[in-house]
Amino acid sequence: MAQVNKAKPNKNNEVPKDSENSEAPAEEDAEKKQLEELPPFEVVEGSRIPASSFMFQFKNVEYSSGRNKTLLCYTIERGEGQVFHGYLEDEHVSAHAEEAFFSNVLPQFLTSGPVGVTCYVSSSPCVNCAASIARCLRKNKTVKLRLVVARLFQWEESEIRGALRGISTAGCQLRMMTSADYLYVWQNFVEPDIVLNEEGESEQKSEQGAFIPWEDLEENSRYYEEKLAEILR
């Protein structure tokens, strides 16, 4: 999932707005350059996402250059109040996070009884990942899945639209992230960035406390909700 498509205008000539401007400021250029220079790696699994990575990868803007990985945060609920949290991320040359989760992680929790799964994903699944999700749901009827995504990946492509309808038909509740979802993920899956001071000691960035929504978060979310509704209609 290397890139998210640039959305075409709707009937009102509206597209998801990018408060960062089409010409990315110097600070974001540096951030993207740092991300692009990261070496390839296999799917990484953990419990907390660095705050800067979350804010960059989950941003529901049209401008998506540099957002070349998928982050997936999951909550798995089993009987007797058992709740498990975690996240996965991928790199564009490796396996996708969704396929890794539904093929390798989730099966570990399907030994007995019903399972409720909620996945918060930075971008909607590609065709292959959607196929893995649909197979998992068809095979495991006791799984109740909610897939909550920040952006729609190449939503104008007929294969992608069909793949999204396929996972919906298989039983997945698919919707876009709202500000309430962003706040939930921030509180449960994000950790402050740690930097080194002049003495080489680690310290937390003081400005990273509460989640601060970007200007067009809700407007962009509504735009994508309309597009998703059209696809699933």
Ordered DSSP codes for 10-72: -TTS-----TT-SS--HHHHHHHHHHHTSPP-PPEEES-EEHHHHHHHT---S--TT--S-EE
The CA distances from residue 124 to 71, 197, 206, in Å, are 10, 38, 32
Asked if the 41-232 domain carries CATH number 3.40.140.10, the reply is yes
Q: Are 82 and 224 in contact (CB under 8 A)?
A: no
pLDDT of residue 91: 64
pLDDT of residue 29: 52
Specify the pTM: 0.77
- Residue-wise pLDDT for 17-76, tens only, equals 554 544 444 444 544 444 444 443 345 566 688 898 899 999 998 766 677 788 999 999
In the structure, what pLDDT confidence band is assigned to residue 203 with cuts at 50, 70 and 90? low
Q: How far is CA 207 from the centre of its chain?
A: 23
- Highest mean predicted confidence (pLDDT) among 43-52, 82-91, 183-192: 183-192
Q: 86 pairs with which residues across the strands?
A: 74
Q: What whole-number percentage of the chain has pLDDT above 90? A: 46
Residue 98 has pLDDT above 80, yes or no: yes
Separation between Cα atoms, residue 62 and residue 6, nearest integer Å = 6
Domain boundary assignment for the chain: 41-232
Top pLDDT among 44 and 9 is at 44
Catalytic residues: 98
Residue 224 has pLDDT above 80, yes or no: yes
* Average pLDDT score over the chain: 79
pLDDT of residue 65: 66
Q: Which secondary structure element, helix H or strand E, spans residue 147, and what is its range? A: strand 143-149
pLDDT of residue 36: 44
Average pLDDT (217-230) is 95
Residue 120 has pLDDT above 80, yes or no: yes
pLDDT of residue 58: 94
The CA distances from residue 104 to 35, 40, 81, 84, 163, in Å, are 26, 20, 23, 15, 21
In 153-207, beta strands by DSSP E = 173-176, 190-191, 194-196, 202-204
Widest pairwise Cα distance in the chain: 58
Separation between Cα atoms, residue 207 and residue 51, nearest integer Å = 11
Q: What whole-number percentage of the chain has pLDDT above 70? A: 69
pLDDT of residue 32: 47
